[in-house]
Structure 1
Amino acid sequence: MLNRRNLFQAMAATAGVTLGTSLLPEHLLASPLTESIPGNTTPKRIIFFMQNQGFDPKTCIPAGLKNSGSLAKVKLPEPISPLEPYKDRLHIINGLHGVHTSPSHSAFFGALGGYRGSDGVPPSGPTIDYELSNVLPQTLLPHLCIGMDSIENMTTKPTIATLSASGAGQPIFMHSNPNHLYQMLYGGISTGDIRRQHEARSSMMSQIEKLAAAKGQSLPSGDHQRYGQYVQGFKEANGLRDRLETVADHLRKFAPTVDERYTQPKFETDWHDVLLDLGISALTSGITNTLTIGSGRGEIFGAWKGLGVDQQGHNLGHMDQPDNPIWIKIRQYNSRMLVKIMESLESIPEGSGTMMDHTLVVYTSNNADKQHTNGANWPVMLLGNFDGAFKTGCFTQLDGKRPINAFYTTLLRAAGQNCDRFNMDDKMAKKFDSDTGPVKELLV
């Protein structure tokens, strides 16, 4: 018998499959699944890559470059050297701040929300990735979050919510077990064990949704509202599964090959690599147009034994990043991932160019510049120009008076949303922002 306590436990264990967004029936598939979308001439997309433990500006700003200028005649620092051939698409930004987020070990939801965040504290508002997923042309899965960590953490906690949110008290789960994520995206077009597991999971999910909807009616009003969020999560997950099956023939062209890295990973980086493949496939197939990658999953953990890095977790945050061979390995690994994203999108024609022409990759940290930071400097790297909106091939040094919220306002403006502030009221802005509207220095 499934009593109230057991039902909540079952839901909590399965809640990671929920999308954190509302998949309404009228949501359409963006290009390349459709040739055109009414009212949207450019199928833009955005990727956020959030590395934990901070992003020291000395690991990305070329030596001797003090003021804003071109990257054409400078050499990129060793940690981001894989991006050297792509300098013309790169924009390095220094001088944004996030002091109001109180990051310390991590700003958690505040890193993408632009508000105060802390361990175990629920989000106080939506995050920029979710907001952009609503502004950009709608897809079957408007927003996908994936998280990379140690094998132990990814196995015992295959879903976790620390970075993205759809609103106050509404966290969005990120997926860390590639086997589960593959089943969610491509189980309906698979064969063998994957197909059987997908069908069994789908049947269970449908039954739980029906039972949950019926049982929830008898709960007290306070529990009923929270309970309803779980029920909605099951509806969304089941709805996504049904909609993905309607484009099964198309998805077969993009589904990654499942190999031993999924089922028998030697190192956690095997799972990191296939999670990235799944994220890229979701973009190139048109399943989603907003991808958030949490390397370290927004916390103080993380492991990279596959790179020959024995240290892991919090210890990494207490190491100086510049000229550190460990952090050089991690940052170069990240940079190679960024290159793979770009090259994959560049290989897909779209409009008069490629998917990459209409894409922006945002690389930063959920912890500003370093571990135990006050957030006074929050470096960011951009790759791509978002259909010509952002400057590229350059370095921009700001004066430290504009918050990350202003940068997020800039992203929304570039996506077509007319707004002057993001998650910052006038009272907060008087204290933490020297201007209003977008950061003009970043735009073409």
Structure 2
Amino acid sequence: MLSRRKMLQGIAASTVAVFGNSMATNRVDASPKKDAAPKRIVFFMQNQGFDPKTCIPSGLRSSGSLAKTRLPEPINALEPYKERLHIINGLHGIHTSPSHSAFFGALGGYRGSDGVPPSASTIDYELSKALPQTLLPHLCIGMDSIENMKTKPTIATLSASGAGQPIFMHSNPNHLYQMLYGGISTGNIRRQHEARSAVMNQVQRLAATKGQSLPTSDQMRYGQYVQGFKEVNGLRDRLDAVADHLRNFAPVVDERYTRPEFETDWHDVLLDLGISALTSGITNTLTIGSGRGEIFGAWKGLGIDQQGHNLGHMDQPDNPIWVKIRQYNSRMLVRIMEKLESVPEGSGTMMDNTLIVYTSNNADKQHTNGANWPVMLLGNLDGAFKTGCFTQLDGKRPINSLYTSLLRAAGQNVDRFNMDDKAAKKFDSGIGPLKEVLV
């Protein structure tokens, strides 16, 4: 039986997991803006680096079409989708000081380090504000070893809503399923959902009452946590209000949730939940952290015994272990595309209005200086991005310029992202978006 203390710790983790440490927010909106295109963006971040030799077709030395090339073995699952693929080589992230990982700096475009809080918001969060609003604008899921996912069901290393305001990733699919679909479930899941809801409502009431007796200096900070409980309870009510709609998208709960044989069972169902959140319209921005933005991660389900930091000290090209991991990633990307392609939207499908950004939180390799940061784009976000091509850059523009391009495609008139003039003078040879990627 759960102790009261452990239950409250779990509730607090779920509260922060949904809204980050800056919980006094009113961004959740049940309906999109009028006349706004239903665009969505997925970030897939694999840890330990992304060696360009594992994604650039043999013989390509300069920018050109992918049509007559053969994709390398690690990403060969994407071969049928080459016309939707754009491989970019030559961006840099020197200013993020990645080493083992750039942590929040990978999506923030600023210096990041282990245990250091974010210095600004990250691109995924900013895009979730720019895109048409949904019930849960931004969802983060993190994949790791089964032990880590059980003992640390939430973790914050990649995404942030502002300086010192990390956004947590969900790593336990049972908890995430209950949050998204508990209101439409039956049996034990339903009972847990109702019990958790009752406790959270009671905690909100008690917290609001007790907070009034605190010193004035503490009331504002305490009020943020009270607001966080209000937002979580409000999200649950809004999800319950569209229960009939959500029943069409909720994944089937099977033994992979409750009795996973390998960590990849949880990886797979977490991906299913992320995809369902997109197809149901719960969210428009999904961030996937394979390795959860750190140096960990395990793939025993692929027949790989090595895990964690050791993987970062292996050369990736022609390495059978890394071929398996990258092929697994590629199959996940295909699953996202195929599912979105199966859902009609407007005059086409959901995939027509989607962009998937695949890269690493650690540039090209472990212990890197970030001088080269390969990226793959899949989809064109309603025609905004060029596809079916390879682009070789000169290493003089930072990952921030790609993020500026994403914001431009989302309708934001910006010339830089998280880079002031002083930093830009040192790290960016240009201004504005990457002309090589936008149509």
- Structure 1 residues not aligned, in runs of 5+: 31-36
Residue 237 of structure 1, CA deviation:
1.1
Please show how residues 200-219 of structure 1 align to structure 2 within 5 Å: 200-219=195-214
* Structure 1 counterpart of 2:48: 53
- Structure 2 residues not aligned, in runs of 5+: none
* Structure 1 counterpart of 2:26: 24
Select which of 238, 245, 252 maps to 1:243. Answer: 238
* Structure 2 counterpart of 1:434: 429
* Structure 1 counterpart of 2:326: 331
SS of equivalent residue, structure 2 residue 381:
coil
* Structure 2 counterpart of 1:399: 394
Q: More displaced, 15-24 or 206-215?
A: 15-24
Aligned residue pair count: 433
Please show how residues 296-307 of structure 1 align to structure 2 within 5 Å: 296-307=291-302
Relative to structure 1, the CA distance from residue 140 to residue 56 in structure 2 (aligned partners, 3 Å threshold; closer, same or farther) is same
User: What is the CA–CA distance in structure 2 between the aligned matches of 1:357 and 1:421, rounded to whole Å?
Assistant: 26
* Structure 2 counterpart of 1:186: 181
Relative to structure 1, the CA distance from residue 414 to residue 14 in structure 2 (aligned partners, 3 Å threshold; closer, same or farther) is closer
Select which of 242, 264, 268 maps to 1:273. Answer: 268
Check conservation: 1:19, 1:144, Cα contact below 8 A.
Answer: no
Letter in 1 for 2:26: L
Letter in 2 for 1:208: V
Residue 95 of structure 1, CA deviation:
0.5
SS of equivalent residue, structure 1 residue 104:
coil
User: What is the CA–CA distance in structure 2 between the aligned matches of 1:312 and 1:25, rounded to whole Å?
Assistant: 38
User: What is the CA–CA distance in structure 2 between the aligned matches of 1:7 and 1:268, rounded to whole Å?
Assistant: 25
Letter in 2 for 1:315: N
Residue 14 of structure 1, CA deviation:
4.2
- TM-score, structure 1 length as denominator? 0.94
Write the deviation string for residues 150-208 of structure 1: whole angstroms up to 9, x where unpaired.
01100000001110000001111110000000000000000000000000111111111
Residue 231 of structure 1, CA deviation:
2.2
SS of equivalent residue, structure 1 residue 400:
coil
* Structure 1 counterpart of 2:71: 76
Relative to structure 1, the CA distance from residue 390 to residue 233 in structure 2 (aligned partners, 3 Å threshold; closer, same or farther) is same
SS of equivalent residue, structure 2 residue 226:
helix
* Structure 2 counterpart of 1:34: none
Q: More displaced, 199-208 or 349-358?
A: 199-208
Q: More displaced, 102-111 or 209-218?
A: 209-218
- TM-score, structure 2 length as denominator? 0.95
Q: Does 1:259 align with 2:254?
A: yes
SS of equivalent residue, structure 2 residue 386:
coil
User: What is the CA–CA distance in structure 1 between the aligned matches of 2:220 and 2:51, rounded to whole Å?
Assistant: 43
Select which of 148, 152, 158 maps to 2:153. Answer: 158
Write the deviation string for residues 5-60 of structure 1: whole angstroms up to 9, x where unpaired.
99995764444443337663871334xxxxxx4141x1100000000000000000
Select which of 157, 170, 194 maps to 1:175. Answer: 170
Relative to structure 1, the CA distance from residue 151 to residue 23 in structure 2 (aligned partners, 3 Å threshold; closer, same or farther) is same
User: What is the CA–CA distance in structure 2 between the aligned matches of 1:26 and 1:62, rounded to whole Å?
Assistant: 42
SS of equivalent residue, structure 2 residue 396:
strand
Relative to structure 1, the CA distance from residue 13 to residue 137 in structure 2 (aligned partners, 3 Å threshold; closer, same or farther) is closer
Write the deviation string for residues 234-254 of structure 1: whole angstroms up to 9, x where unpaired.
221111100001100000000
Relative to structure 1, the CA distance from residue 25 to residue 304 in structure 2 (aligned partners, 3 Å threshold; closer, same or farther) is closer
Letter in 2 for 1:262: Y
